[in-house]
Chain A
Amino acid sequence: MGRYLIIRVGRWIASVAIIVFVTYAMMFYGAADPIKRMFMTRNESDKWLDQLTIDALREKYGLDKPFPEQLKNYVSRLLVGDWGNSFAESNRPVWDMVRAKLPISMQLGLAATVLITIVGIPLGVLAALCHNHWPDAAIIGTISFVNGIPQFVTAPMLMLLLVLGLHVLDVPYGWKGLFDQQVILPVVVLSLGAVQGVIRQARVGMLEVMSADYVRTARAKGLPERLVIMRHMLRVVLIPVVTSIGLTMITMVNGAIYVEKIFNIPGFGSLTLNGLNSADYPVIMASVLVGTLIILVSNLLVDLIYPLLDPRITHEGHD
């Protein structure tokens, strides 16, 4: 386990380092000039900023230095927890922006995770219990249908249906906290994209466990069916289901970008999109890093937690 952990973490650090390098290089050589973006698109009258001012601004942000030096400066500050200052938002520290916006997306993601857990597991179990009957077919058919439709299509369709058609919701717009009714649609849209993994995992796990000897024994000793399911089957099934919830994170991060744009939620997704649109290097770097870290950390956690939950799995044989 120790050796496995060291290799995993070592590779992990190498991956993060390479992602930092490649992203920085792509921005440095590719993205539009942040100074021009800042002062020439926002305000038309400033269009002819004189060269002296441009040079001064460039020096101020350290943009006049060659690539290796800029990268070195960036990385050395990153290592002590300084994510740099935003170009577009009047020199605001990026860390402050991330700290203000990430929790909003986290709350949305968390609410969606809770929703897919409490809806997904029962649906998967139900499908397995009705294997080869119509509820199974209906559930599996519906999720393969729903899963494919991207969030930027489900969200408009649900808005049309619930807001314009049935008048049951107000127009969802902005962020008024987790317990406002405006949260309903964004959370539902996020969940719809990710729920199928949980349902499928729960269903397949139940189907495998149904014919196990100890389940038959439990039935034979006269345990009521409800208890057989709750105590003997669900417990085993929950392990892979819990890890599959960890793997829905990638859907959540991608989905957040769409959902936050559609519903105008000032979260991590909109931070990313604005950063890209204004060539705000430090913000783009932070978005890519945070997005990737969320995925990498959840994958790592899944890998590390799995053997704790299921003693049959060890990492001794790996690598």
Chain B
Amino acid sequence: MELRSYIIRRLLLLIPVLFGVTVFIFGITMLFSPIERVSLYVTDARQFTNIPALIETYGLDQPFFVQYGNWISQVFSGNLGWSRVVGMPVWDAIWHFLPTTLELAMFATPIIILMGIFLGTQAAAHKDRPLDHGTRVMAIFGWSLPTFWLGLILLMVFYGYFRGLLPPSRLSVPMELVVHSADFIRYTHINTIDAILNLNGAVFLDALRHLVLPVITLTVVQVAFIMRLMRSSMLESLGKGYVLTARAKGLAERVVINKHARRNALIPVITVGGYLFAAMVNGVVITETIFTFKGIGWWAWQAAVRLDIASVLGFALFNAVLFVLVNLVVDILYTRVDPRVRLGGVMQ
């Protein structure tokens, strides 16, 4: 019962934040002239032939809040404007590019979480011994790495030196043809999953081959982050009374660490779920750009470089809404796994 009212209160608190976010985004568009802003409303390329009429319809010469009202009602009806770089409505472009990015995330997320937790546990269990120092240096190195540069180096070695072993882009040309042929049913537009559903081994392997480098690029920094967090959380947990009790009972060290200490140490890791999401979105833009892995990040980069403002802002708004929701889910999860967290005091 208490949890339900907590969720309701949090959802209500979202309203002012999302209002602020939309006002802010719309404020950015005010840097542009009404003629440039027309693309925020267009849903069909043919509409561009009559720009003055569009300015009239959407009141682009009206005061700020009148325009904001018009715009937000468009947004609520699912119209985010026209994406010039790909020649389709922004909303369609998001759905068009999303599966590619989901495919990346689908492989990267488990690696980040599992490797981070495993390495962090090991580092804490071997505190101040070589393993701990080694992972510490690795972590500092990891989050100092410019990911865009790492991507280039990986390509230079695995695409250049090893003659196309792990190539950029999403599929090789012959497999691209297979995927777009009539026999290949694209259930999800996520190549690896579709390949399994179509029982097509060649496409599956080719898709995997193209995924290796982007996934490495995307995971390195985040693994380092989770690992360090897990380490300090584990150290805290190892100093607790229940760990002492477990050891005093004569339990094997492995059991003490994996069962008693680690389970409790995992709780703080959940709280960075929101951060992880943001880092992922950031990473996706850079990774997809380097590997011409044409997902939502690649599209956003194209839009930003070619000053396609409707796409850039549509993408920013989409991500802000997602990010806010992810944070909400994380907070709710946190209260579920750790009953000690009081549900009051949200405003702190």
Same complex for A and B? Answer no
